[in-house]
Chains A and B, each alone.
Chain A
């Protein structure tokens, strides 16, 4: 135990004296939270900018635009009626635009007077693959449907109510934070350990350590202890920023604490496993990137796994980070500790396997 503590102390001194290491462990996740938090949390629901060319310029067409503007989804800007619709879009780099044709009010009047053949098309132009187009389409369709109901003198029978699925009313940042914690659990120990193994090998520190009484398992245990402490510091800073800046409501639960410890254990060990194969810092970095980057995107750190194609979801289920991300969300946001404990056990299973492979496979002795 004394040797482990000695190694933790010496390693911590070196790590925290390296500005690059400290930046990526402590400052980078905070930057991510501030960035994504500012993008998605500061103005409530996202609003789509919709340009409208009102060719009709009547009370009815102005009413249609006003109805759009009253939704929380659209922020309106006008296209002059005299402009060529598509040329104007191109010239002003407009993503989504709506054109209300001349005769809009007259057609509505015909319909109110009983004409069954009266039809008018409003045209929504844009890139259907963009999410902003989908949001604008929903808003325009909803307003058009409202106009149709009004003309038909009908009332809305089926309506949609909202009830929060989570225990508290959480915001985007609350769902995002567990992913960022998972991202940090992946990158800080795994990338760190891979490059440390490469450096220790090229600079012969492993040989030097092999001349002491410190064993490989003790050395790895010391790194696990260090990364657990570092991750708690990192998570504490992230939580403070989330609460202080964005009013985040998610809190660390006992299961979340255990998941962070298990995750640090798991990815420190995985870094050592990768360290078996690296011979220099260049290959170490490449290997860590090759494993880490796909995992951080596929394991649901930034995007929900449910939104992925089914074959990617299958892959995601095989990735160790998935169980940390999902486990943290389960316990911190959904208050589902049962699922979180299951994911904690899976994480511990991965960790033990990686630790054994790392401690056995990494050789300090020469051939």
Chain B
């Protein structure tokens, strides 16, 4: 584990009517993509804004780049880049102008080449001279990331960078964040998209009601809470389920499909062989690896759709 860029201990943010952050603890190492994952209102943005120096914590300790967030936020903001939640650019500035402007607010004298390079990094070269109000949602977020990168930050905060974007734009931003990760950037990413966290994060903290309910790498969380691999007997129906139960195999009926959970990876092949020996009418058989969604469902007790917990 490398040097800790963020250290959070017993962090609390309390309002008169709600405790938004309730005693959370985590560390983020240099070069890591750390994801705070959870539904809307879980406390993700409050946590990030405390770390950015935009909110004062009620209790606990948080250090960013070695600085206490209460006393050192001026020094912190010189070394971090921020893409806030629901980022909107200045409508009547072009990306080239916005990046130059932002660099100067960090006291950086950026050359035209440097600005062009940042814009190229986020894939906006073709739109560099278009007014921001005419950019698409995905392009606006890219511009936001470009602005966050101008100060050559040691740490990048991306607060729900893909919320509200169409799937294509989301994938494009994933590629961009993946590229930044490859270049060794430390990134704190908040999201309510489980696949996004699974795809991009080295480390995930699942938040709910202001608390961290699970913390670890996506694979470790899946392995610990996800239930391993599921073998799906498509079209096996109730008859198939009963046939498996009669042979002592635990099976779940989901619609017309039958699910067989295999907790350990090494047990998948013997189980497949066992199932093949049973005469069951079916249309298809395939395996499904557990995902963070399964982990989330198990830990929180509900699925999440666009950041909202399903009933």
The answer to whether A211 and B107 have CB atoms under 8 Å apart is: no
Known A211-B52, A211-B82, A365-B55; judge A3-B104 contact (CB<8 A): yes
User: Is the pair A10, B84 in contact by a Cβ cutoff of 8 Å?
Assistant: no
B308 within 8 A of A: no
Closest-by-CB residue of B relative to A14 is B92
The stretch that binds B, out of A49-57, A62-70, A202-210, is: A202-210
Chain A residues within an 8 Å CB radius of B104: 2-3, 5-6
Interface residues as binary, A353-367 with B (CB distance below 8 Å gives 1, 0 otherwise): 000000000001111
A367, B84: Cβ atoms closer than 8 Å: no
Neighbour of A211 across the interface among B54, B90, B93, B97, CB < 8 A: B54
Is B27 an interface position by the 8 A CB rule?
Answer: no
Query: Which of A208, A210, A364 meets B87, CB within 8 Å?
Result: A208
Asked if B78 lies at the interface with its beta carbon under 8 angstroms from chain A, I say yes
Q: Which 10 A-B pairs have the closest CB atoms?
A: A6-B104, A212-B105, A211-B82, A10-B101, A17-B92, A14-B92, A214-B105, A366-B55, A203-B88, A365-B54
Question: Which among B56, B74, B91, B92 has the greatest number of chain A C-beta atoms within 10 A?
Answer: B92
Interface check A9, CB cutoff 8 A = yes
Chain A residues in 8 Å Cβ range of B90: 10, 14, 205
A6 CA / B100 CA spacing, docked (Å): 9
Q: Is B256 an interface residue (CB 8 A)?
A: no
Q: Kindly state whether residue A7 has any CB partner on chain B within 8 Å.
A: yes
Q: B195 → chain A, closest Cβ, in Å?
A: 26
Q: A208-B84, A213-B78, A365-B54 are in contact. Are A13 and B93 (CB under 8 A)?
A: yes
A5–chain B nearest beta-carbon distance, Å: 8
Q: Is A117 an interface residue (CB 8 A)?
A: no
Q: Among A10, A203, A367, point to the contact of B93 (Cβ < 8 A).
A: A10
Asked if residues A14 and B93 are in contact (CB atoms below 8 Å), the reply is: yes
Does A121 have its Cβ within 8 Å of any Cβ on chain B? no
Q: Could you say which residues of chain A place their CB within 8 Å of the CB of B15?
A: 367
With a cutoff of 8 Å between Cβ atoms, the chain B residues found around residue A208 in the complex are 82, 84, 87
Q: Does B129 touch A at the CB level, under 8 Å?
A: no
**Nearest CB in chain A: distance from B13 CB, A:** 10
Contacts of A205 in B (CB 8 A): 88, 90
Interface residues in B34-92 by Cβ distance below 8 A to A read 49, 52-56, 74, 77-78, 80, 82, 84, 86-88, 90-92
CA distance A207 to B86 in the complex (A): 11
Interface size class of A (residues with CB under 8 A): 20 to 34
Q: Are A18 and B92 in contact (CB under 8 A)?
A: yes
B55 and A212 form a contact (CB under 8 A) = no
A selection of 22 A-B contacts at a CB cut-off of 8 Å is A3-B107, A10-B93, A10-B101, A13-B93, A14-B92, A17-B92, A204-B84, A204-B87, A207-B54, A209-B105, A210-B54, A211-B80, A212-B106, A213-B74, A213-B77, A213-B105, A213-B107, A214-B105, A365-B55, A366-B49, A366-B54, A367-B15
**Cα distance, A6 to B106, chains bound together (Å):** 10
Q: How far is the CA of A210 from the CA of B54 in the complex (A)?
A: 7
Interface residue? B174 (CB, 8 A): no
Q: Is B102 an interface residue (CB 8 A)?
A: yes
List of A residues within 8 angstroms of B93 by Cβ? 10, 13-14
Inter-chain pairs besides A13-B93, A14-B91, A213-B77, 14 sampled, C-beta below 8 Å: A7-B105, A17-B131, A204-B84, A204-B88, A207-B54, A207-B84, A209-B105, A211-B82, A212-B105, A213-B74, A364-B54, A365-B54, A365-B56, A366-B55
State in angstroms the CA–CA spacing of A174 and B58 once bound together. Answer: 61
Closest to B76 in A: A211
Question: Chain B contacts of A214 at CB under 8 A?
Answer: 105
The residues in A between 175 and 212 inclusive whose CB is less than 8 angstroms from any CB of B are: 203-205, 207-212
Q: List B contacts of A3 (CB < 8 A).
A: 104-105, 107
Report B130-146 residues with CB < 8 Å from chain A CB. 131
Across the two chains, which residue of chain A brings its CB closest to B88?
Answer: A203
Residues of B within 8 A of A212 (CB): 77, 102, 105-106
Tell me, in angstroms, the Cα distance from A173 to B119 when the chains sit together. 53
* A203 CB contacts on chain B under 8 angstroms: 88
Report which of A2, A211, A366 forms a contact with B77, defined as CB distance below 8 A: A211
Q: Decide: A13 and B105 in contact? CB cutoff 8 A.
A: no
Min CB–CB distance B43 → chain A (angstroms): 13
Within 8 A of B (CB), among A1-36: 2-3, 5-7, 9-10, 13-14, 17-18
Closest to B81 in A: A211
Q: How far is the CA of A44 from the CA of B55 in the complex (A)?
A: 64
Instruction: Enumerate chain A residues within 8 angstroms of B52, measured Cβ to Cβ.
Output: 211
Contact pick for A213, options B88, B98, B101, B106, CB 8 Å: B106
Q: Which residue of B lies closest to A215 (CB)?
A: B74
**Which B residues are in CB contact (< 8 Å) with A367?**
15, 55
> Once bound together, how far apart are the Cα atoms of A18 and B91, in whole Å?
10
- Smallest distance from the beta carbon of A11 to chain B beta carbons, Å? 9
Give the CA-CA distance A10 to B78 in the complex, in Å: 20
Q: Is the CB of B101 within 8 A of A6?
A: yes
